[in-house]
Amino acid sequence: ERLNDNIETLSLGNQQRAQIAAALVHDPEVLILDEPFSGLDPLAVDVVAGVLQARAAAGSAVLFSSHQLDVVERLCDDLVIIAGGTIRAADSRDALRAQHSAHRYELVSAGDAGWVREVAGVSIVEFDGGYAQFDVDSDETAQVVLRRAVERGDVTSFAPQHPTLAQIFTEVIQ
């Protein structure tokens, strides 16, 4: 139906699809894409992500820039964060998470978790009744919080929190 239309007359999403198809048509060994998910709806993002993953699995090198960090986090094994023309961080996704992982924990309790505020070495990030997200100054402090929660008998869950790529990005560029 739109075969003979100029690309400029297409929606942004359809323009993006056409440009990605043009990049793939000759089966390149290396794909370099600038913001390949821009203008795409969530279903189209999943389709393009699947195509890029398949290309990478088939041995093609896939390099792209994107500000859609949730998609980047889901797709990429290795990441480079660039700000102001300078590489600010470069490593595997897991290594970056480990490097930027604060001692952040989450406690979900059947009762009020406000007592966590009183533990030395704890800094509350978010609190809402039976929910507390907090940073600790050491692994020992985390163990103190866990022991006290167990002693109180109302622990639903207690787990370390790993930073998202968006949180790492913010930390790295500030």
Cα–Cα distance between 18 and 7 in angstroms, integer?
A: 8
Residue range(s) occupied by CATH 3.40.50.300 in the chain: 7-76
Query: How do residues 123-174 score in pLDDT, each as one tens digit?
Result: 998 999 999 999 999 999 999 999 999 999 889 999 998 888 998 999 899 8
Fold of 7-76: Rossmann fold (3.40.50)
Rg (CA), the chain: 22
Residue range(s) occupied by CATH 3.30.70 in the chain: 102-162
Query: Tokens in use for 115?
Result: 């007592």
Query: How do residues 88-123 score in pLDDT, each as one tens digit?
Result: 999 999 999 888 877 899 999 999 999 999 999 999
Region of 155 please: left (phi>0), alpha (psi -120 to 50) or beta. beta
Cα–Cα distance between 33 and 23 in angstroms, integer?
A: 8
pLDDT higher for 22 or 101?
A: 22
CATH 2.40.30 for the 102-162 domain, yes or no: no
